[in-house]
Structure 1
Amino acid sequence: MKEKAKSKKKSRIRLLHQYYKYTGFYGFVGSSLKKAVLPIVIFIGALWAVDHFFLNIEDMLVHITETYQPAKVLAIFLLSESLLGLVPPELFIAWAGKSAAPFLFLTLLASMSYLGGVISYGIGLSVTKIPSVRLLMEVKLAKHIHNTRKWGGFLIIVGALLPIPFAITSIAAGIIRFPFSSYLIFALLRFARFYLYALVIFKMV
């Protein structure tokens, strides 16, 4: 009986593997990783250049932490994460690294990003009730909606981990009415992304 259950499980995994292989999911992930490397390299290079030739990044971040209330910075970040990821999260991670409690503020940033994704999901869900807006969004986000329908939770995982606008993936998930409870679970990987990036960024700044 146990062997039969294991056999069924292996068959299911094999079928899933074949499906994602044939539909181009692995190629999509590989392409996304390649695209993700360039922005990271550019960001690190820009930080180094600014720090060495224009101004002291560490002093600037310390100045920001001393000048602006954390609540305002977190509110700006939440707004950004809810509206197509307007500002790179890496800048806010660097800010957290110079705060009085780096791990606490990093966790708050990750929480804001997670909440921003939930808000984006809600936006996607809401536009489905307005035909004209839904049509516009389906045209603008056609590729993301198509991929979300095709790959579901795995695409949400990729969006949560890789440096691509998580809000777009979340809006697409809302538009296709992806199960909300499953979305909440997959989106938790957003925390892993922030902690992993912090390992590098905190050492840089």
Structure 2
Amino acid sequence: MESQKKSKIKLLHQYYSYTGFYKFILNSIKKAITPILFLVIILIVFNNYIYNINDGLEIVTTTFSTLAIFLMFFVSETILGLIPPEIFIAWSKKTSTPIVNLALLATLSYIGGVLSYFIGKAILKVRVVKEYFENKMHKQLKNTSKWGGFLIVVGALLPIPFSITCLAAGMIKYPLKGVLLFGLLRFVRFTIYGVAIFNIVSN
């Protein structure tokens, strides 16, 4: 039984090696690291020499209602991940209940991804829109067809828009239960990022 399990793992490893999954992950990380490092450097310089980010977050917290910020975040997480979630994680630290709001952000991100999945399925019924997205997301659709659940794991954990991964999954009619299960790793990412960002942003 154990040898069969090992052989299945070996076959999966060979398959992902052959189809270029590992190379795709490595390239995605490399592409993500550069803009992230650049953003961190810009933020440090901006915070130290131009404007205190904590003061900016304080203004956002007192100017906009919590509901409005959550709504903005949900729309972003549903429509192609337009705004980096790290901004909202930093915002949650400045609120009176940071842990609760971080958990709500993670939940909204998860729900947004699931909603993107259904949008992907619905797109198939509109020919013009379907053709547009198939042209724009050809690579994502191809990769999702090959790697399925593992690509959703990558979208949930790494700096790759989770909504795009879920949208592609819906377009290829990937099983919903897979999206629901693997998408739970979104909570892991928000926990890790929350710990890191909470240590940077002051109260």
Please list every run of 5 or more consecutive structure 1 residues that lacks an aligned counterpart in the other structure.
none
Which residue, out of 31, 46, 55, partners 1:59?
Answer: 55
Q: Displacement, 1:39? A: 2.3
CA distance in 2, matches of 1:122, 1:67: 34
Matches within 5 A, 1:52-201: 52-201=48-197
Aligned to 1:40, the other structure's residue is in SS state helix
The answer for unaligned runs of 5 or more in structure 2 is: none
Match of 2:2 among 6, 12, 16: 6
Amino acid at match of 2:35: P
Q: Which amino acid aligns with 2:37?
A: V
Amino acid corresponding to residue 114 of structure 1 in structure 2: Y
CA distance in 2, matches of 1:7, 1:103: 44
Deviates more, 1:130-139 or 1:176-185: 130-139
The residue identity in structure 2 corresponding to 1:18 is Q
Normalised by the size of structure 1, how large is the TM-score?
0.95
- Cα deviation, 1:154-198, whole Å, max 9, x if unaligned, reads 000001111111111111000001000111000111111111112
Instruction: Give the distance between the partners of 2:51 and 2:125, measured in 1 at CA.
Output: 49
* Residues in 2 aligned to 1:39 and 1:70: alpha-carbon distance in whole angstroms: 29
Q: 1:23 aligns with which of 14, 19, 32?
A: 19
In 2, the alpha carbon distance for the partners of 1:48 and 1:7 equals 52
**Which portions of structure 1, spanning 4 or more consecutive aligned residues, are displaced by more than 3 angstroms?**
none
Q: For the residues of structure 1 that align with 2:40 and 2:182, how far apart are their CA atoms?
A: 28
Q: Could you state the TM-score of these two structures normalised by the residue count of structure 2? A: 0.96
Counterparts of 2:180 and 2:59, CA distance in 1: 36
When the two chains are superposed, the root-mean-square deviation of aligned CA atoms in Å is 1.0
Query: In 2, distance between residues paired with 1:181 and 1:47?
Result: 39
Structure 1 counterpart of 2:183, one-letter code: A
| Cα distance in 2 for residues equivalent to 1:51 and 1:94 | 14
Q: Deviations over 1:84-139 (max 9, x none)?
A: 11111111111011111111111111111111101111110001112222122111
CA distance in 2, matches of 1:14, 1:166: 28
**Aligned counterparts of 2:115 and 2:183: Cα–Cα separation in 1:** 12
